[in-house]
A and B are shown apart, each in its own frame.
Chain A
Amino acid sequence: MAADPILSLRNVEVHFPVRTGVLKRVTAHVRAVDGVDLDVYRGEVLGLVGESGCGKTTLGKAILQLVRATQGTVTYSGEDGETELTTQDDAGLFAFRKRLQIVFQDPHSSLNPAFTIFGSLEDPLRHYGVKTRAERRKIVGDLLEAVNMRREAMDRYPHEFSGGQRQRIGIARALSIDPELIVCDEAVSALDVSIQAQVLQLLMDLKREKNLTYVFITHDLSVTEYLCDRIAVMYLGKVVELCDAEELYSNTLHPYTQALLSAIPVADLDRKSQRIVLQGDVPSPINPPSGCPFHPRCRFAQDICRTDVPRLRAYKAGSGVHMAACHLIDQPLAD
């Protein structure tokens, strides 16, 4: 894959203020995303995995500028050069909204219950200059067919559809203005497994047809294995491991990722997998632990982990680079 970044994130931080007391003073910050460096290459599927509350969704929203980063830059590179999205105002963002879109997690709240499908989907089209109603109806109809639904569905209301159908309508909506990159925020997590496969297949077909780039946010590692070219593992607002998907599954470096992978159920009775059970909860992002954010739950934690924050360092891997943030990787991990 040619290293042609469509998006570059540099040291992105999203901190939400915590206000307490009568005067609503800011007493602390929730460090939802805490210094993320990441490149998304054109045409790839980048998986973003981690447990609940690790900041994956916030990072996805920060990419789309739905949540503004408090620090750092998000740079979009297109044919017309590089643009820093984080410093643009709403008017400046207008041109880029067209290229970045999002598919949401919850199919039950992602469509407006008061409007027909056409009513929900036509307004963005009008906003981007499709003037006549007949044209908009044609486009919406084509979109619905592109996600394997009947054209007539556009005159129905969201409650008349099943979860999988709604999710496909959500995908159709994201596609409606021909974006280049789509952030799929847990796009299949709320669906049952057979529908998941169907929607994933649809996403892959659309990617091939329209030459899309996906940032695929999920907590389901079996989905990423099937789908992603590269995977970034997040923990407490930081990326702890980043490499090609195959590399991640075959040569896991970070102890957190090892624990995650060991939790994937395997349908093989004879295989005795060593399940690594993490103790305790994810630490609070308001008051993250000193040093490595993972050290309170890490099997290998040593003194250095409690004091120094590990940087994301590159390691040589079979075909490319393997990034991981752990002090102990240079030394062989004891097991």
Chain B
Amino acid sequence: MVDAPITRPRTRRDGQFDRLRDRETSMQGKAKRRGRFLGKFLSNRLALVGFVIFTIICLMSLFAPLIAQHNPMSPNLRAIAQPPSVEHWFGTDKTGRDIFARVLYGGRVSILVGLGSALLSALIGVIIGVYSGYVGGWLDWIAMRVSEIFMSFPQIILVLLLVAILGQSLLNLIVIFTLTGWGGIYRMARARMLSIREEEYVQALRSFGLGPARIAYKHMLPNALGPIMVNITLSTAAFILQEAGLSFLGLGVPLSIPTWGNILNAAQDLRVLEQNWWIWLPVGATISLFVLSVNFIGDGLRDATDPSQQG
């Protein structure tokens, strides 16, 4: 089709359209796409806010020694259960330890355990689930049974076993959370693959003779990513709280090492709950904020990878 000659004077719009057309015809596929992904993520307000909060919390935990003026582990018996003040920003707990410092240092353990276990279990779950879900057959059957065994096994027994053998440590916690946690994501990934497997584009790829790993990981996985992202953010929160529970029983991190869960556990005392709100409120708010920010980031990532949502 030939463009009709423009009989009216050129306007600013004409210039804009020309530039658009030039960009389209110059065909910069890949470069444009990466920019588009980032642009879409950044133009999502919530995702951006989440990313900022996430970064702030992580950085503050990382640089805790520079920020906190008190030692998070040394008790101060002359300042027991004091409300927030200039000296102690978040107040002190029942042994006189500075809560602000404990929240900062606690973030190191909690973020590592929560996010680390969530990402690790997602990695395992996705790798197994995507392939076995697509291929099916005996491989799928075995993967399914294995995941059932891991999911039905009581977590506490596993923990006891590992602690008995290897001793109390952070790494053990991550290993255990990963072992017991990959099943959920595996099943979700597998279920998504079962439905995507029937789509005609998968059949088309098969008719070209492409290998199953190529089809499953490269072509199908991007379409299964949405629910997986949501699951990762949810399990991050769950793992942070589980770590607290296990540490409380003396099975996780030693109680003297501050973690968000440890601090929160102090609020199991009804008196603390009623009278010393500063012991549980700041750390509770921090956990909520952190989980929320991870959630927003997950949502933003999912939307940014979905091409049908215009950014």
Q: Could you list which residues of chain A lie within 8 angstroms of chain B, going by C-beta atoms? A: 61, 64, 66, 90, 93-94, 97, 100-102, 104-106, 109-116, 118, 120, 123-124, 127-128, 137, 151-152, 154-155, 157, 159, 170, 173-174, 177
B201 at the interface (CB under 8 A from A): yes
Say which residue of A64, A105, A106, A116 sits within 8 Å of B29 (CB atoms). Answer: A116
On whether A115 and B204 interact (CB within 8 A), knowing A152-B24, A152-B27, the answer reads no
The interface residues of chain B lying within 8 Å CB-to-CB of A94 are 209
Shortest C-beta distance, A211 to chain B (Å), equals 20
Q: Determine the main DSSP class of B at the interface with A.
A: helix
* In the bound complex, CA of A89 to CA of B57 (Å): 55
* In the bound complex, CA of A250 to CA of B223 (Å): 50
Shortest C-beta distance, A101 to chain B (Å), equals 6
Task: List B residues 199-221 near A (Cβ within 8 Å).
Answer: 199-201, 203-210, 214, 218-219
* In the bound complex, CA of A115 to CA of B208 (Å): 17
Say which residue of B29, B209, B214, B222 sits within 8 Å of A114 (CB atoms). Answer: B222
Task: List B residues 213-265 near A (Cβ within 8 Å).
Answer: 214, 218-219, 222-223
B201 adjacent to A112 (CB under 8 Å): yes
A-B pairs with beta carbons under 8 Å apart, 21 shown: A94-B209, A97-B207, A102-B204, A102-B207, A104-B204, A110-B199, A110-B201, A113-B307, A114-B219, A114-B222, A114-B307, A116-B307, A118-B29, A123-B205, A124-B208, A152-B24, A152-B25, A155-B29, A157-B308, A159-B307, A173-B204
* In the bound complex, CA of A155 to CA of B32 (Å): 10
Say which residue of B203, B207, B219 sits within 8 Å of A115 (CB atoms). Answer: B219
Q: Could you list which residues of chain B lie within 8 angstroms of chain A, going by C-beta atoms? A: 24-25, 27, 29, 32-33, 199-201, 203-210, 214, 218-219, 222-223, 305-308
The interface residues of chain A lying within 8 Å CB-to-CB of B25 are 152
B33 adjacent to A116 (CB under 8 Å): yes
Chain A to chain B: the 7 pairs with minimum beta-carbon distance, closest first: A97-B209, A114-B222, A124-B208, A104-B200, A110-B200, A157-B307, A159-B308
B308 adjacent to A64 (CB under 8 Å): no
Sample of 16 more A-B contacts, CB < 8 Å, known A66-B203, A97-B208, A115-B219: A101-B207, A102-B204, A112-B201, A114-B219, A114-B306, A120-B219, A123-B210, A123-B219, A124-B205, A124-B208, A124-B210, A127-B210, A137-B27, A152-B27, A155-B27, A159-B307
* In the bound complex, CA of A157 to CA of B37 (Å): 14
Shortest C-beta distance, B186 to chain A (Å), equals 21
The interface residues of chain B lying within 8 Å CB-to-CB of A64 are 207
Say which residue of B29, B206, B208, B223 sits within 8 Å of A113 (CB atoms). Answer: B223
Shortest C-beta distance, A270 to chain B (Å), equals 43
B29 adjacent to A115 (CB under 8 Å): no
Shortest C-beta distance, A155 to chain B (Å), equals 5
The interface residues of chain A lying within 8 Å CB-to-CB of B204 are 102, 104, 110, 170, 173-174
* In the bound complex, CA of A52 to CA of B270 (Å): 68
The interface residues of chain A lying within 8 Å CB-to-CB of B222 are 114-115
The interface residues of chain A lying within 8 Å CB-to-CB of B210 are 123-124, 127
